[in-house]
A and B are shown apart, each in its own frame.
Chain A
Amino acid sequence: MEFTCRHQALMQGLTAVERAVASNSPRPVLAGIYLEAKDNQLRMVATDLELSIECYVPAVVIEPGKTVLDGKVLSQIVRKLDSEDVAYTSIDAAMGRIEGGKARFSLHTLYADEFPTLPELPNEKFWRISQNVFKRMVKQTIIAVSTDEAQPSLNGVLLEVENDELRMVATDINRLAFKRAKLAEPTEALTKHIVPARTLQELTRLLSGEEDSELEFMIAGTQVVFKSGSVTIISRLIEGEFPEYRRAFPQTQPTRFRVNRTAFLAAVERASLIARRSVPPVVKLVATADNLSVSSQEAQVGQVYDEVGGVNDGEPGEATYQAFYIMEALRAMDTEEVIMEIGEGLRQGSMRPVGESDYLYVLMPVRVG
């Protein structure tokens, strides 16, 4: 195998795939990045068997072929090269040479035949959605994903596709984030699948965020496939039942307080300076007609009382919530104003951005002892 490609392009490809390189696998070949040169393209693949990332980079292919190089070593070397082009030549079955400028590396290769092949994708239509929209959906829902390994079905985000809508839902059973958006074109049947949070994190890292770029995705058996430009991500889906999330939606909320998002966030951040020593750190919200107070007290530390102005569209109300539940939701929203809805008694509270009806964040209060 022999090829040359642009340093920058190679670097971009490596950055995309290296996150799927297995770090502690009993199969040594999974610590490598698979390289295949043909048709003036370099195909790169890394997989830890849960998550696979594939990327194509333009290359001048002198002699087609394939090999596997240690992922970490390869990325570090290419990162340090400062030539415009990088060349690769197979020396023999077990060695390869990387050249950039005057630097010349000889590297041991891994057995390309042992590298797992990616599953064949069914010849079905991809769903399409704006990358920016998708990125924002992930950002606003992934905060509620549970990290409790005993509940694997909550370690991911539910992706529900129905008609022309994509819905994302995540919950750790104490709070829930729901977001919906339009697909580029309508689809038929309802499908719902749980995508691991890590897959979505890696995916959004790779999305360009350019105004008109699109993301394509489809379900292929027990896998989900995302395509963005020359990058394809294939990930296992989480098996198991996702809770009936609509059960968690509040019916009518007696207290609906409209408040400036950044002012509210700052007040909760300040209050959590006192709360953070308690288990769990909680803040108390009290809504009157035109004031939302944020307070907290901790025996060993002290207490805090803060107010943010706003408009209460309902009745006065109060509740105590975990501080970071509120902070994470406020940071995930980007409108100027938000509505903080307090449930009756110990019922769930909810938060939504003003002027956007496609996002809902539900949170349960804390019963104060």
Chain B
Amino acid sequence: MSKNSRTVVHVDMDAFFCAVETLHHPEYAGKCLIVGGYKDAPRAVVSSCSYEARRYGVHSAMPIAQAARLCPHGIFVPPNMALYKEVSAKLHALFRQIAPVVEPVSIDEAFLDMTGCEHFYPDLAGMGRSIQEQVYKTTGCTASIGIAPCKFLAKLASDLRKPQGLYIITEDNVDAVLLPLPVNKLWGVGEKTTQALARHSIYTVAELRTKSQAWLQSMFGSAGAQLYALARGIDDRPVEPPGPAKSIGHEVTFAVDLPIRKALNEELPAIAQAVARRLQRDGRYGRTVMLKVRFSDFTTLTRQHTLPNSVVSVTDILRAATSLLKNVKETKPVRLLGIYITDLSKHQQLSLFADPRKQKIEQLLRRLKQQDPNCPITTATAFSIRQTGKRKEGP
């Protein structure tokens, strides 16, 4: 651990969606609550489940159908994202009051850099309990908290005593926590690295610790240095407030896998439309169009193309995405399709040969959308795309 010790707090809400549902439906309290898509939807997975449901082996990302088999008496409710976002906004506002630097991780999770604020609390445990109390007072939901000198250990700690847990990792107990862990608990260690380490009979952090940095680097390149550090509880990544979004996009998982041609003709336009709307709403321009395709066997590919000028309209986005998708040679059915725009900018380079009328219309639409995101005025192209999408959703 470094000399200039930091105090990093990781706050992770306990079964957040379920907790929010229970706030509004007190009758759910103490029951097996499972939030996810509708029970009969073929693709629905568990988004969140109460600790009672977890006792039956239900966990998030499990298909709902399987959860229903494991826990037949469970209460299944579809997610109400608008509601969760509302509570999340309060939660993150509270974080910004508590800590000088906050890095939101997801809707219900954040890192708080409390370095220099220690003297406000009797000790680290007092700090943790105080944050837990404030979170409960503000949201009515409980949180688990990990406190450590770095992000990686703080996140590890918050997971150790869930729910309503509080765990503090210091120099004194870091080895006790870290050494017995399987290597895949280390940040950035996925399936491939785990397998590669297993080939050298390295399964735990303790075993990883016996390896030299030079050896790890020869095996994993620059990631080897990171492994070496993480195995010693060293993680220099700062707690960083969110920068401007790096990409704006939209993706859709289909109810049933589609042949690629059908996905292209029937689904891509609506996705392009959603992306164009988001770009308009945020007042951003981007030059790189990225297409993401996930096939039935979960293999995923991305293709991107950088245009000379920023894409503005749904037609621009659709044209670029269509040509990217047409170049995909796979024949497997498509499970998911997404379009992302990167190289984002608030500025728009204008073109010498653009149609001035088209530019004026786009500029006007953008202004209307920024004033009122629900403004129904749109171009005929976009309108016809939306109509096609609507017809398809019907019976």
Contact = CB atoms under 8 A, between A and B. Distances in A.
B377 interface: no
Contacts of B347: 278-280, 282, 320, 366-369
Contact of B351 (A174, A322, A368): A174
A173 interface: yes
Contacts of A320: 347
B345 A279 contact: yes
Interface residues of A, number: 28
B133 to A, nearest CB: 36
A307 interface: no
B285 A174 contact: no
Interface in A294-337: 320, 322
Contact of B353 (A148, A150, A243, A369): A243
Contacts of A175: 352
B346 interface: yes
Contacts of A255: none
A364 B283 CA distance: 20
B350 A174 contact: yes
B284 interface: yes
A5 B103 CA distance: 72
A153 interface: no
Max count, chain B CB within 10 A of own CB: residue among A248, A278, A280: A280
B352 A367 contact: no
Contact of B352 (A322, A364, A369): A364
Contact of B309 (A174, A346, A362): A174
Contacts of B222: none
Contact of A247 (B283, B307, B353): B353
A369 B308 contact: no
Contacts of B307: 148, 150
B348 A146 contact: no
A44 B343 CA distance: 46
B344 interface: yes
Main secondary structure of the interface of A (DSSP, over half): loop
B308 A151 contact: yes
Contacts of A165: none
B285 A369 contact: yes
B345 A346 contact: no
A366 to B, nearest CB: 5
A280 B350 contact: no
Give chain B's interface residue range (CB within 8 Å of chain A). Answer: 20 to 34
Contacts of A173: 308-309, 351-353
Contact of B345 (A150, A171, A174, A369): A369
A148 B306 CA distance: 8
Contacts of A278: 345, 347
A71 interface: no
A322 B349 CA distance: 8
Given A171-B352, A173-B352, A248-B353, A369 B305 contact: no
Interface in B279-311: 283-285, 305-309
B352 A176 contact: yes
A248 B283 CA distance: 27
Contacts of B305: 150
16 contacts: A148-B306, A148-B307, A148-B308, A173-B308, A173-B352, A173-B353, A174-B350, A175-B352, A176-B352, A247-B352, A248-B352, A282-B347, A365-B350, A367-B350, A369-B284, A369-B348
A367 B348 contact: yes
User: Which 10 A-B residue pairings sit nearest by Cβ, starting from the closest?
Assistant: A369-B346, A248-B352, A364-B350, A367-B348, A279-B345, A148-B308, A366-B347, A173-B351, A366-B349, A243-B353
A216 interface: no
A364 B351 CA distance: 6
B344 A279 contact: yes
Contacts of B350: 174, 346, 364-367
Interface string B76-109: 0000000000000000000000000000000000
A150 B307 CA distance: 8
A231 to B, nearest CB: 34
Interface of A: 146, 148, 150-151, 171-176, 243, 247-248, 278-280, 282, 320, 322, 346, 348, 362, 364-369
Nearest to B282: A369
A346 B323 CA distance: 31
A150 B350 CA distance: 19
Contacts of A150: 305, 307, 323
Given A247-B353, A364-B351, 11 more contacts: A148-B307, A173-B352, A174-B351, A176-B352, A243-B353, A247-B352, A248-B352, A280-B345, A280-B349, A362-B352, A369-B345
Contacts of B348: 366-367, 369
A148 B352 CA distance: 16
Contacts of A176: 352
Contacts of A279: 343-345, 347
B315 to A, nearest CB: 15
Nearest to B350: A364
A279 to B, nearest CB: 4
A145 to B, nearest CB: 11
Nearest to A146: B308
Nearest to B359: A346
A175 B284 CA distance: 22
Nearest to A368: B347
Nearest to A174: B349
B37 to A, nearest CB: 37
Contacts of B323: 150
B192 to A, nearest CB: 30
Nearest to B306: A148
Contacts of B343: 279
Interface string B17-43: 000000000000000000000000000
B346 A174 contact: no
B308 to A, nearest CB: 5
Interface string B346-368: 11111111000000000000000
Contacts of A364: 349-352
Nearest to A320: B347
B102 to A, nearest CB: 18
Nearest to B347: A366
Contacts of A368: 346-347
A271 to B, nearest CB: 15
A69 to B, nearest CB: 39
Contacts of B308: 146, 148, 151, 172-174
Interface string B306-321: 1111000000000000
